[in-house]
Amino acid sequence: MRQSLRTMRQDAWTAEDDAVLAEIVLHHIGEGSTQLAGFNEASRRLGRTAAACGFRWNACVRKQYRPSIEVAKEERKERKSQKIQAQMEGGDYDHPTATLMTWAQVLRFLRQEKNTAQQWASRWRSAQREATEWKEKFETLDKDYSKVKEDYEQLVRNYEVVVEDYRSLVQIVDRARKAALLDHGDISDGFVYRIDEFGNLERVSSDNAIERAE
């Protein structure tokens, strides 16, 4: 319960906390472990979440301990090299009194390394396929977007034409309405417009000649 309450606290990191975090993570690096394992251990020591420890390490602490990190990496390489050398010579780095390593054990070790390499290669190929799929999806969406954009622009142009035609039609209709004959209206002004039985607009001149309006 005490650790749970401490984990949920929101107080700032102290220099002592940073030092403890660095000590634990560097130890894990030098031992050939992972930083994630170090964050988990630090979370138990400091009463914080592993995510908080990881964020603190990457954001602040790692920059301050770069030389120590390089030293820890060299220790890890040296430790691994010594362990492999001891195994190849028939012993065990952690247990010098162990029995000699057989060829079967050597082959098993090589197969394990091969399997690890194959797993990483498989993950790489999977990531490449996924990247290709996302690229194809993007290209398809980009083409669809271009087509929709083109259609939209065409609709805007058509709309502008329709609006202009509508305005012209309204002007013509308005003129026709004002000049339309009422029964036997006066056409002394030259000509007027009227709508015939089929809905066509006609111009009636003063000499009673009827011309269909364009």
Q: Are the CB atoms for 34 and 72 separated by under 8 Å? A: no
Residues 93-113, mean pLDDT to the nearest whole number: 67
User: Bigger pLDDT: 108 or 209?
Assistant: 108
The CA distance from 95 to 89, in Å, is 13
User: Bigger pLDDT: 29 or 199?
Assistant: 29
pLDDT(195) > 90: no
Name the pLDDT band for 145 (thresholds 50, 70, 90). very high
pLDDT(207) > 60: no
| The pairing of beta strand 210-212 with beta strand 201-205 | antiparallel
Average pLDDT, the chain: 77
pLDDT tens per residue across span 44-86: 999 999 999 999 999 999 888 888 888 888 888 887 777 766 6
Neighbouring-strand partners of residue 212:
202
Name the pLDDT band for 154 (thresholds 50, 70, 90). very high
Phi, psi of 192 (to 5 degrees): -140, 175
pTM of the predicted protein model = 0.37
What integer pLDDT is reported at residue 153 of this predicted model?
93
pLDDT(89) > 80: no
User: Bigger pLDDT: 9 or 152?
Assistant: 152
pLDDT(141) > 90: yes
What integer pLDDT is reported at residue 98 of this predicted model?
44
Q: Are the CB atoms for 69 and 26 separated by under 8 Å? A: yes
| The pairing of beta strand 191-195 with beta strand 201-205 | antiparallel
